[in-house]
Amino acid sequence: MFEDYLTYLLVEKRYSPLTVRAYGDDIRQFALFCLRAGDPETGSAEDSGSEGAAETPLSGPRLVGPLPEGFDPARARGDDLRAWIMYLTGEKKLSARSVNRKISSVKSFYRFLRKRKIVDRDLFARITALKTPSRLPSFVEESRMNSLVDELLDPSDDFLAQRDALVILLLYATGIRLAELLSLRIDDFSDDFDILKIKGKGDKERIVPVVGPVAALVRRHLELIRAENVCESGNNCLFLTRDGKPMSRTEAYRVVHGVLREAGVQGKSSPHVLRHTFATHLLNRGTDIRVIQELLGHASLEATQIYTHNSIEALKQAYKQAHPRAKKR
């Protein structure tokens, strides 16, 4: 049952092993809480750790530990879930955002069980997500980003320097997610490298244009790959290490963080900041929000509308600085 669920996340939902591990750990924590609470129906148990971790076709052994012995998902009640939420917010002092993520993991598991008629009750019928403070997406100011882009567009003969520049430029020029960037293959581009086909969440495909200077840099990057025989094994991935292996998520984070910090960007400096920057700059220049939704691959318009808040804040700031009556009370 639990193993089937992990396989479902990996194979059908195409979640990464790290995401599946996070889901599995959250579900195990809920199961252990139910058991340790001394519920007469579920009994009590100790944490079994990662011993005998569930095996799945893509993950191999020890992706995540099994559900604790004695836990029956069908016997858990809404009261158990509410008590767990109170425990997480009270004793564990987790943020509302962290608790909501854990609730989402358990809810996904029970939805899976209900579809397969393993449980018949909706454990979440009266459970709502905790309220979280709204946070505006971090982004890089347009003037600073323009200076950085001009610098990165300067071609380099060094394979790694050219690759790292292309990482930044493609993230900003297309707004793609880091996972989408790292999974790019050479044949995802059109013949002129000005159109990019992206396979996003849930295997949904979308088309994103690539501006001319960045397309030229993609061609330059491929020339360096061939010139240095980086891709001897026939690997079709766009972003590789010098020994021909696919670039890792950790290395991509390091590259983005280093470049943005060196450029004087304060605050967050993750790859997702460049996605936020892409959307915010387009919106500030009058791009229709539904077009931005399509480019970002958002399933709902609501997810895209958060960027309108950045634009509103920018308008307020400009008003305060320019209007003769703005500073008078």
Which residues are bridge partners to 12 per DSSP?
none
Catalytic center residues: 177, 201, 272, 275, 298, 307
Q: What is the CATH number of the domain that holds 231?
A: 1.10.443.10
Same domain, 156 and 202: yes
* Residue 7: other Cβ atoms inside 10 A: 17
Same domain, 151 and 260: yes
67: left (phi over 0), alpha (psi -120 to 50) or beta: beta
Helical packing angle, 159-174 and 249-262, nearest 10°: 80
Same domain, 147 and 277: yes
Same domain, 285 and 148: yes
Domain that holds residue 38: 2-115
- Phi, psi for residue 199 in degrees, rounded to 5: -100, 110
The Cα 174–Cα 227 span in angstroms is 27
Task: Write down the pLDDT at residue 186.
Answer: 92
Same domain, 171 and 235: yes
Tell me how many domains the chain contains. Answer: 2
Contact 202, 254 (CB under 8 A): no
Residue 207 lies in a domain: yes
Residue 137 lies in a domain: no
E strands, 195-251, are 195-199, 205-209
pTM of structure:
0.60
Residue 125 lies in a domain: no
The three-state DSSP-derived secondary structure of 20-35 is HHHHHHHHHHHHHHHH
Same domain, 228 and 162: yes
Boundary of a domain, candidates 47, 80, 115: 115
Task: Write down the pLDDT at residue 55.
Answer: 47
Same domain, 76 and 167: no
Same domain, 183 and 295: yes
Residue 178 lies in a domain: yes
Residue 298 lies in a domain: yes
Mean per-residue pLDDT pooled into runs of 10, the chain (329 residues): 89 85 93 77 41 45 74 90 92 90 93 91 82 72 91 89 95 94 93 92 88 94 85 73 90 94 85 92 89 91 77 62 60
Residue 135 lies in a domain: no
Same domain, 192 and 296: yes
Same domain, 109 and 197: no
Same domain, 41 and 162: no
Same domain, 195 and 306: yes
Residue 126 lies in a domain: no
Residue 84 lies in a domain: yes
